[in-house]
Each structure stands twice: as structure tokens, then as C-alpha cells.
Structure 1
Amino acid sequence: MHLALSSSKSPTQQLLQSADLVSQGAEAAIYKAYLRHFPASGQAKNAGVDGAAFEALEPVLLKYRFHKHYRHPTLDASLTRQRIAGEARALMRCMRSGVTVPGIRMMDVNEGVLGIEWIDGECVRQLLPGGAELEGISEPEDMGEMDENDAADPIADYGVSQDALMDMIGAEIAKMHLADVIHGDLTTSNMMLRKKTSDLVLIDFGLAYHSTLVEDKAVDLYVLERAFASTHPDSEPLFAGVLGAYEKRMGKYWLPIRKRLDDVRLRGRKRSMVG
């Protein structure tokens, strides 16, 4: 599916027009597109051919924050620019701190488009028990005839164990929090395992912001804990593994966050009881 645009198109609009729609949300649409890359002139000269012969296409993910007609145009444009720039800043801060996130490929704040590296892999939610069923992914027809011990483990296809995956999640979140970046929407849907390298990639920083507050980091963890509980059955050992790796990476900064996490959990339980 392609985006229909007016006859007078900017380069970003042309890129959107050639892209394929992946998903549509209330705030943004996600597209897969391709950017052309050319080598440096010296590389082409050394090869003895025209640089165009080296043209390569790189897949990119485009997040398009479309116009909201219910908002005043000036306010809408300002909010869109702020959110695109804010997401890009969070990604850059993460990259500088060694957090594994998609690289930025292009940005057009006026058009509301952020282009990032396309991650060839699978969402962690689909790799853990319960997640695939909630996503509507059906099991193979002959699965019922297989012995339980013979059932395929999707994580094993990446060459890592479930425990190792939890360690990776905890370590990446810790690196992010040490950089004072709050994700704002930590779920297993916003994590991917890359196929070629089997590394964990944190994605979707649309709600991310910068904060040094212990409270914000504890709430980030609590959001992930609730996501595990609501999506993956018997998830307590899984999240305990995440926290174990997080604690190890955070070092001396872990104790105040742990105390605040306990407070956040208590507040969450009280809200649940009140309804």
C-alpha cells in the first residue's frame, strides 16, 4: 500500500509515496522504504567505473507523524517538530552511550518524518511464551502431533537462550538509564532480536525523554514488569532475570531505583484495588 500525495512533492513526500505501509497507529504511520547510497568518489575512481555502478539500496523504516486535523495547524506543526526532534535526540543519546538502537538515516521535521535503520529480526514479544498467540500468529497444523520436548524454540533459532535474552534486555535498559534516557513505553513489543548478530535492539522512542530522576527510571521498569505480566504467562522468573542483569549493570545506582520501584508497585496495587 502506498501513500497518495499531491502532484507537487518534496523529496520526503516522494520517498513516502514509494514506500510500503507496514502499520498505522493513531499518532503515526510506519513505512518501509529504500534509500539510495553512492560510494565516495575515490572509491569509484579506484575501481575504474562510474560511481552510479556502485549504487546500493538500503531499507529504512519511516515513521510519519501525519497532520492531526483536530488541532490548530500551527500547534500541530510545532508538536510534530518537537516529537520528531525529541525522538531523534533520544536515539542519538543512546547511541553515544552504547545502547543498541536503530541508527538514524534521515529526518524531516517539517514533513513529520523520521527515517531509521530497518532492523531485520523479530519482535521479542513474538519470541516469548504467550506473545505470538496474542499477536494472532497461529501454530503450524502439525504442532499438535509433536512431542513437547521436540517443539521448536524460536529464541534458539537466534543462538541464544531465554535466560541470555533476559540478561540482554536488562543490560540494554541499564545502559539506557545510565544515559538518563527514559523510554516511556517499555514492552516486549518494543524490543527486537536482530537475525544476523542476535543482538537485542530497543526500538520506538516516540515517548522517550531525558531525566535523571530515580522515579522516572523506576516507572520505566514498572511499565515493563506490567507488560510481562499481561502478555507472557508465568513471567515472574523472566522479569526477575531482567532485573538481575539490570542490577548488575547499574551497580551503585541500583539501590535507590529498587526502593522506588517497590513504592511504584505499591501505588499500582492500590490503584488496582480502588479500580
Structure 2
Amino acid sequence: MARQFKQRTGKPFFAWAIVKETAATNRTFQTLIAQQDTRLFSDDGRRIDMHQPQVVNALTLMQRLYAEGHVKPDLDYGAANQAFLNGEAGVVVVGTWTIDQFLREAKRPGSALRGGYTVVPFPQLYQRPAVFADGHSWALLKGGAATPEQHAAALKLLRFIWTHSAEWARTGHLPVRRSVAQSEAFRALPFRENLTEITRTGAAMPGNVPTQRAIELLIGEDVSNLLISGKPVAEVQADVEKQVNKALKKVRR
């Protein structure tokens, strides 16, 4: 499809944030791994195994797309979104939080998206449908409220956020409550019907992997190097495994 798009339009199929944006490459890589029904981390979450054939499949595909010119090169997050809005690429690989922003742009006269903008989950390329899904969390830390009144107020805030899950999701995020995601009101919002499958197919990093944000950055950095500099797949496998396992080893149990 990417080759056909480039042949017919002369433009790359993807706008994809790679420069100074390790999160996007990590999300795509982990999506492709999850679609192959493969686990990167050990049962205890303390080791990563990059030497699996499914890892080679994912990295090789990503590298081929970039090397063949199907990804507009050298874009950071803002530039990737702008390239899509300007009609310089057919698809932007980004999270659901941009839905309403892009929808507003698509309604403007002369917009490159006018009449052609849609939203779909990451396509299934391997054995099963899956897409990397992460979220934002609100937590009440033990001992974080100095008085019973502050504790009660914090719980009231968390309850309010839970009750109004639909409102927090209106920008494009998926709600945290299954009942809200399946409600008629939510599914009636633009493109949400297309995205409700993510509530079933979303795949996250295992919960027992410590310092997850740091681990995601380590993975994404080397996968980005794979694309930008043409770093060999075998070197990326070795470097990610070395750096991630070193970082995990340092975390206190």
C-alpha cells in the first residue's frame, strides 16, 4: 500500500515522528511485537529478550519502510503532525489525543484533510489485532494526605475523575471505564466507533516492569537510530537488550 501511494502521489505514505521522539518508535515497535503474540519481558519483568525472530520481523519492517522512502524523513512530533495537516503524507502515526484537533483542521476551507480525514487503529499486520496502549494515571500515595480532611478531599477528586471519565475522553483519549467506552453517547462522538476495539486489543508493557517510562525511552532511542542512521538490526537488538537489562538490574526490588 505504501508503495502504491508513493507511485500514484509522489509522496510518502507516513508522517512519523522519529527525531527527538522516542515514544512513537517504541509504541510502533511494541505494537508489532504484540501483534505477533510475543512477550519481550521475562515473567518477573526484570529482563528483556530482543533476540527473537519476531523482533527481527518488526525491526526489519520498520527499517524497510524508512529506507524505501515511505516515511517522510527527519520529523519530530510537531513536524510530523504538520506534514500530515499540509497533505505532505497520507497517514500520521500518532495517538488518539489528536482526533479533535485534526477534525477541526479538516473542516477548514482549503484544508488538505477536507473530505478525506478518518481515524483507524494501527492495522493488523501479523497474527492478531493489537495496538500499544498506555495511559495517564492519578494516584493517591500512601501518606500523601497529611490530615483526614485532605485524604477525604483527594478521594473525592479521584471519584469525580472516575465518574466523569467520558468528559476526559472527549479530546480523543479512550475512557478508562468500559461502561463509558461502550455507551451510545461516547460511540456517537466522531470516529470513536472505529476505536472501541482498542479497549479489547490494547497491549501495554507488563505492569511488573519497573521504571517503565525510562525503559520505553531506551527502546525507542535505539529503534529511532535504526531508522535514521540505518543501524544494523542485529546491533539494535544487542544494544537495546544491553541497555534495558542494565537499567532493570539497577532498580531496587
Q: TM-score, normalised by structure 1?
A: 0.23
Higher-RCO chain (CA-CA 8 Å, sequence separation at least 6): 2
Give the structure with the higher percent strand.
1
Length-normalised TM-score, structure 2:
0.24
